[in-house]
């Protein structure tokens, strides 16, 4: 069975790229393959920090009788999870890209043999979009039946505080100085460049001194 991603609903408290958003993620669903979904609204990506609160809505599993092929209805096992999986709050440093939440669920808990392991997380991408994902999922059996699906829903409230000091050498805004920035600088090579970001030395054109400056700040 291929990965299924059902509905994600995202709403912002203000306009696109706003200081505060509330993202509702419903039914990020996987049968063990990596899965992801993206918000339709964005938060300001240049925040100096991001304050967040999140709450788990459901953590459901799907069981299958491999002998008969019968698939049982989804069962919410969130009540059996440790308290730290129910929700939380905190602050992370900006700017985006930054991770808001990353859980490594193990169910059931030791000393029982784990039947679900993996990573479920939420991050803010460099354009301010929210990415909700599940990866490295490993399913076993539960109550004598094969575990064939996982479905997670949550809500997150996030607020951007302050403005992060921008790195002038990070030309493409991905949070690191690397090949993407080099490509962008070379595309503007020897071109008239007034007040453009590739003109790192401010002399009106892009050349070797700009290249040297970028390479000196390479991550």
In the prediction, which pLDDT does 132 show?
Answer: 96
Lowest mean pLDDT among 9-23, 106-120, 162-176: 9-23
Enter the tokens of residue 192. 């008239």
Does 11 have pLDDT greater than 50? no
Please tell me the distance from the alpha carbon of residue 207 to that of residue 219, in angstroms, as a whole number: 21
How far apart are alpha carbons 179 and 149 in whole angstroms? 38
Average pLDDT, the chain: 86
pLDDT for the residue 3: 30
Distance CA 26, CA 5 (A): 9
pLDDT at residue number 167: 82
Structure tokens at 15: 């306009």
Count of CB atoms situated within 10 Å of the CB of 128: 22
Q: How many distinct helices (H) and strands (E) make up the chain?
A: 2, 12
How many other β-carbons are positioned within 10 Å of the β-carbon of residue 216? 10
Q: What is the pLDDT of residue 172?
A: 81
Q: Do 122 and 156 touch, CB atoms closer than 8 A?
A: yes
Question: pLDDT at position 190, please?
Answer: 87
How do the residues of the chain divide into helix, strand and coil, expressed in percent and rounded to 5?
A: 10, 45, 45
Percent of the chain predicted with pLDDT > 70? 92
* pLDDT, position 176: 83
Give the residue-averaged pLDDT of 110-123: 88
| Residue appearing with tokens 């669903």 | 29
39 CB-near residues (< 8 Å, 6+ apart): 8, 10, 21, 23, 25, 129, 130, 131, 132
């Amino acid at each position: 069975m291929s990965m299924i991603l059902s509905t994600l609903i995202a709403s912002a408290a203000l306009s696109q790229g706003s200081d505060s958003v509330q993202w509702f993620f419903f039914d990020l669903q996987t049968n063990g393959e990596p899965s992801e979904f993206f918000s339709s609204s964005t938060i300001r990506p240049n925040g100096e920090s991001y304050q967040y609160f999140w709450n788990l809505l459901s953590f459901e599993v799907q069981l299958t009788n491999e002998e008969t092929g019968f698939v049982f209805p989804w069962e919410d096992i969130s009540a059996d999870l440790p308290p730290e999986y129910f929700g939380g709050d905190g602050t992370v440093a900006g700017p985006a890209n930054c991770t808001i939440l990353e859980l490594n669920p193990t169910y059931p808990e030791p000393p029982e043999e784990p039947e679900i392991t993996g990573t479920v997380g939420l991050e803010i991408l460099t354009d301010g979009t929210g990415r909700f994902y599940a990866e490295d999922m490993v399913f076993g059996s539960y109550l004598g039946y094969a575990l064939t699906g996982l479905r997670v829903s949550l809500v997150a409230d996030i607020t951007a505080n302050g403005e992060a000091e921008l790195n002038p050498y990070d030309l493409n805004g991905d949070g690191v100085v690397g090949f993407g920035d080099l490509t962008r600088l070379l595309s503007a090579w020897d071109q008239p460049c007034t007040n453009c970001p590739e003109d790192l030395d401010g002399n009106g054109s892009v050349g070797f001194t700009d290249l040297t400056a970028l390479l000196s700040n390479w991550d």
